[in-house]
C-alpha cells in the first residue's frame, strides 16, 4: 500500500476556447472536470500500475464533494482525505484551440485552521503505520505552516517509511533539511533551492542540503538521478509532443512504484521517464497512454553507474 499526500487538492477544470483574448468574452466549447492536485494525479497513475494507493490531504465544500465522488470511481484508490470547513480550490486550464497554448488560473485553496492541521497530523500518523512508501506532493494551502513537509518527512522516517517529496520554494527548502529519501525537483525548482542553474551541480548541492536521492527532471530531456547507490541519466528516444500537465506526477508514480518493488535505480528511472512521456502523449491532461508507455519502456537510454560498494 502506497500513500500520497496532497494538502492542496483541487478540482481541475479544462476549458477549450477557440482563441483566448484578454478583455473578450469566450464561449467555452468543452468542459472537462477531474480530481487533481499533484499527489492525487500520482495516486491515479500508481493505481493504474496496479498499486493499491491511499490518498490523503484536505477536502472541503461543494468542489470537495465533487472531487470525492470522482475519486470513488477510480479502482485501487482509497480516499482518506480529511474534511475541512473551507472549499477545495479549482484550477482552470484554458486551452486555446488555435495555438494549442494553455493558460492556467489557480485558486489559492481553503484556509486551514490549526485544529484542522492537527487533525490531519493525527490521521497521517495512523496511515503511516500501514504503508510501504509515501509521496508528499504540491503546494501548501493557506494556514498550513511553511515547515509542514519537514514535519511530515520526519514522521515518515520515524515510522521507517520511505518518503518522496515533490514541492517547491520554501516548503521544499524546509522539507529537504528533514532528509527525505527522494526529492524530484524540476530545473527551476532546483535552481531556486540551490542558486545553481547547472543541473549536475545543483543536484549535488541538493543532496548536501539533506535529500538522500535527488531526481532532477530535465523536462523533455528526461531525468538526472544522484543517489547513495549511484548516479544515472535517463533519456527518452525522442521529444514527445503534447500536453506536459501531470508528466511530473507520473514520474513520481514511476519512482515510487519502482522503490516499493525494489527495482534497481536504472529500472525505476526508465519507468518514470516512460510514464512521463506517455502522459505528455495522452490526449487527456494528466492521463498516460498505456500503449505509448509500454512501447517506450524498451527505448529509454540510461547511462551512469552504481557507486563502489
Q: What are the catalytic residues?
A: 249
Residues contacting 205, CB < 8 A, separation 6+: 193, 194, 195, 196
Nearer to a second copy, 105 or 146 (CB): 105
- Interactions with a second copy, residue window 88-107 (CB under 8 A): 92, 94, 96, 99, 101-107
Q: Is 22 in the site for a second copy (CB under 8 A)?
A: yes
Cα separation, 92 vs 104, whole angstroms: 6
- Interactions with a second copy, residue window 50-89 (CB under 8 A): 62-63, 65-66
Cβ(170)–Cβ(183) under 8 Å? no
Nearer to a second copy, 99 or 309 (CB): 99
Question: Interface with a second copy by CB under 8 A: which range of 27-35, 194-202, 220-228, 265-273?
Answer: 27-35
Question: Interface with a second copy by CB under 8 A: which range of 1-9, 21-29, 248-256, 260-268?
Answer: 21-29
Q: Find the shortest distance in angstroms from Cβ 29 to a second copy.
A: 7
**Which member of 25, 160, 283, 291 binds a second copy (CB under 8 A)?**
25
Nearer to a second copy, 58 or 232 (CB): 58
The set of cell numbers assigned to 172 is: 521544499
Q: Find the shortest distance in angstroms from Cβ 100 to a second copy.
A: 10
Query: By three-state DSSP, how is residue 177 classified?
Result: helix
Q: Is 146 in the site for a second copy (CB under 8 A)?
A: no
Cβ(228)–Cβ(307) under 8 Å? yes
The set of cell numbers assigned to 134 is: 509515501
Q: Is 305 in the site for a second copy (CB under 8 A)?
A: no
Number of residues that bind a second copy (CB under 8 A): 29
Burial class (CB in 10 A: 0-12, 13-18, 19+), 118: exposed
> Site mask, a second copy, residues 105-144, x = CB under 8 A?
xxxx------------------------------------
CA torsion sign for 129, 130, 135, 141 is negative
Q: Is 32 in the site for a second copy (CB under 8 A)?
A: no
CB atoms within 10 A of CB 267: 17
Provide the CA 282 distance to its chain's centre, in angstroms: 17
The set of cell numbers assigned to 73 is: 470511481
**Rama region for 266: left / alpha / beta (φ>0; ψ in -120 to 50; rest):** alpha
Q: Is 239 in the site for a second copy (CB under 8 A)?
A: no
Binding interface with a second copy (CB under 8 A): 15, 17, 20-29, 31, 62-63, 65-66, 92, 94, 96, 99, 101-108
Amino acid at each position: 500500500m502506497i500513500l500520497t499526500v496532497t494538502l492542496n487538492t483541487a478540482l481541475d477544470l479544462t476549458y477549450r476556447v477557440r482563441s483566448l483574448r484578454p478583455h473578450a468574452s469566450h464561449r467555452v466549447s468543452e468542459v472537462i472536470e477531474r480530481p487533481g492536485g499533484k499527489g492525487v494525479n500520482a495516486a491515479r497513475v500508481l493505481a493504474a500500475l496496479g498499486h493499491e494507493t491511499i490518498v490523503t490531504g484536505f477536502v472541503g465544500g461543494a468542489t470537495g464533494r465533487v472531487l470525492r465522488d470522482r475519486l470513488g470511481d477510480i479502482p485501487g484508490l482509497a480516499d482518506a482525505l480529511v474534511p475541512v470547513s473551507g472549499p477545495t480550490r479549482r484550477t482552470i486550464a484554458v486551452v486555446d484551440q488555435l495555438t494549442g497554448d494553455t493558460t492556467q488560473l489557480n485558486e489559492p485553496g481553503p484556509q486551514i485552521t490549526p485544529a484542522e492541521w492537527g487533525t490531519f497530523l493525527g490521521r497521517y500518523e495512523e496511515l503511516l503505520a500501514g504503508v510501504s512508501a509515501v509521496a508528499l506532493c504540491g503546494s501548501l494551502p493557506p494556514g498550513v505552516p511553511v515547515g509542514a513537509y519537514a514535519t511530515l518527512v520526519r514522521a515518515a522516517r520515524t515510522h521507517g517509511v520511505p518518503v518522496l517529496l515533490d514541492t517547491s520554494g520554501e516548503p521544499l527548502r524546509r522539507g529537504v533539511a528533514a532528509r527525505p529519501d527522494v526529492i524530484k525537483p524540476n530545473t527551476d525548482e532546483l535552481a531556486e533551492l540551490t542558486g545553481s542553474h547547472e543541473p549536475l551541480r545543483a543536484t549535488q548541492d541538493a543532496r548536501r542540503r539533506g535529500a538522500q536521492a535527488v531526481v532532477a527532471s530535465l523536462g523533455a530531456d528526461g531525468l538526472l538521478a544522484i543517489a547513495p547507490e549511484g548516479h544515472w541519466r535517463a533519456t527518452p528516444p525522442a521529444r514527445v509532443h503534447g500536453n506536459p500537465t501531470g508528466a511530473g506526477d507520473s514520474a513520481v508514480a514511476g519512482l515510487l512504484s519502482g522503490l516499493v518493488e525494489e527495482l534497481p535505480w536504472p529500472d525505476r528511472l526508465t519507468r518514470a521517464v516512460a510514464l512521463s512521456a506517455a502522459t505528455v502523449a495522452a490526449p487527456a491532461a494528466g492521463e498516460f497512454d498505456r500503449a505509448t508507455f509500454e512501447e517506450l519502456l524498451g527505448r529509454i537510454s540510461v547511462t551512469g553507474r552504481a557507486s563502489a560498494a
